[in-house]
Amino acid sequence: MKSIYTSLCLPGLLTGLVLFSGARADAQMRVPRVSVGGGAGIALPLHGDFDFTPWAWEADLRVGLSPRVLVEAAVGEWRHNTTTAADHIPAPAYPDAIGHLEQTTTHAMRTMQVNLLAAATAGRVRVTAGGGVGLLRHLRTVTTVAENCSGAATCGTFHSDVSSTTASAQAVGGMDVDVARFIAVYGQARFVVPLTDPGGSDLRVTAGVRLTLG
Measure the CA–CA gap between 54 and 31, rounded to whole angstroms.
32
Question: What would the mean pLDDT of 187-207 be, rounded to a whole number?
Answer: 94
pLDDT over 70 for what percent of the chain?
A: 83
Percent of the chain clearing pLDDT 90 (strictly above): 57
d(CA 31, CA 119): 7
In angstroms, rounded to a whole number, what is the distance separating the alpha carbons of residues 32 and 55? 29
Mean pLDDT on 22-30? 46
Q: In the chain, where are the structural domains located?
A: 2-212
Beta bridge partners of 70: 64, 117
Mean confidence (pLDDT) of the chain: 85
Q: What is the mean pLDDT of residues 127-151?
A: 91
Domain 2-212, CATH number (from 3.30.1330.40, 3.30.160.40, 3.20.20.140, 2.40.160.20) = 2.40.160.20
pLDDT confidence band for 155 (50 / 70 / 90):
confident
Distance, in Å, from the CA atom of 185 to the CA atom of 212, rounded to the nearest integer, reads 11
Q: Are 4 and 201 in contact (CB under 8 A)?
A: yes
